């Protein structure tokens, strides 16, 4: 039974690598529990903050972001692409038209079936919202910002770009290898297209990897999702069927 006085901050599991389980728990401001596999380490809040600062400094000394700092990137983006970074060769800055950029969006086809699409900026819920068509954006399921109001975040970015311009604090939109698909900065791209037009050229960062693990394959991704969805449906029907016979 879980402790109601403990909030799980991070809960990650992996079948690959040396460590299979990584969990960080907050004991309601009193202490922090760090679980790595079967090992548990307890910190006071101050100890954990000091430990985090040490880890951050160590990561920057390793220079795994090829001359860039952690604060140049969104923390959720770094978390999602962490398994790709060991194969990062270099990062380049280039100029590209907003009209050439593509975005990953997710569409709900059934109540429990959500599939991926790659669309131009003007078809994203964020851009449509800024143009006055708000329905899709307000109903859009946000995956990478848990408990964050999507509308407030977009409006905050809009205000920031108007005041601070782009790229604020060297936070560029990010692409991977030869694919012009935005991997970080979709909201920023929608704001820039809304303010300055789709034909505007902007500077972006392009991550160059030594392998192809980063490639977005919509058909392959959706095929896996549909197969899993269908398998779950069959399982539930079989379960109900055999329950009737008992």
Residue pair 33/25 in contact (Cβ under 8 Å)? The answer is yes
**Strand partners of residue 106:** 116
| DSSP-assigned letter for residue 30 | S
Listed in sequence order, the residues at least 6 apart from 2 whose beta carbon sits closer than 8 Å to its beta carbon are none
H-only helix segments in the chain: 45-62, 75-80, 125-130, 135-139, 150-164, 186-196, 218-245
10-residue averages of pLDDT along the chain (246 residues): 69 76 84 89 90 87 86 88 90 97 88 88 95 83 63 92 93 95 96 97 96 88 89 81 64
Nearest to 129 by CA among 213, 190, 212: 190
Report residue 195 CA to chain centroid gap: 24
For residue 12, what are the β-bridge partners?
A: 22
pLDDT of res. 1: 44
């Amino acid at each position: 039974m879980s402790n109601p006085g403990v909030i799980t901050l991070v809960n990650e599991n992996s079948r690959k690598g040396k460590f299979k389980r990584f969990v960080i728990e907050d004991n309601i401001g009193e202490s922090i529990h760090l679980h790595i596999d079967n090992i548990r380490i307890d910190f006071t809040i101050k100890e954990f903050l000091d430990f985090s600062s040490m880890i951050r400094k160590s990561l920057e000394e390793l220079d795994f972001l090829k001359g860039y700092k952690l604060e140049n990137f969104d923390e959720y983006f770094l978390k999602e692409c962490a398994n790709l970074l060991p194969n990062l060769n270099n990062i380049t800055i280039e100029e590209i038209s907003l009209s050439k950029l593509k975005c990953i969006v997710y569409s709900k086809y059934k109540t429990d079936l959500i599939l991926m699409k790659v669309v131009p900026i003007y078809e994203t819920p964020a851009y449509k919202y800024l143009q006055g068509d708000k329905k899709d954006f307000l109903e859009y399921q946000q995956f990478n910002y848990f408990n964050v109001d999507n509308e407030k975040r977009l409006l905050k970015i809009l205000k920031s770009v108007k005041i601070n311009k782009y790229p604020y604090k060297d936070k560029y939109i990010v692409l991977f290898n030869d694919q012009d698909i935005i991997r970080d900065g979709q909201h920023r791209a929608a704001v820039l297209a809304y303010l300055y037009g789709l034909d505007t050229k902007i500077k972006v960062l392009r991550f160059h990897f030594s392998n192809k693990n980063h490639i977005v394959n919509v058909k392959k991704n959706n095929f896996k999702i549909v197969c899993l969805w269908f398998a779950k449906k069959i399982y539930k029907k079989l379960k109900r069927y055999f329950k009737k016979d008992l």
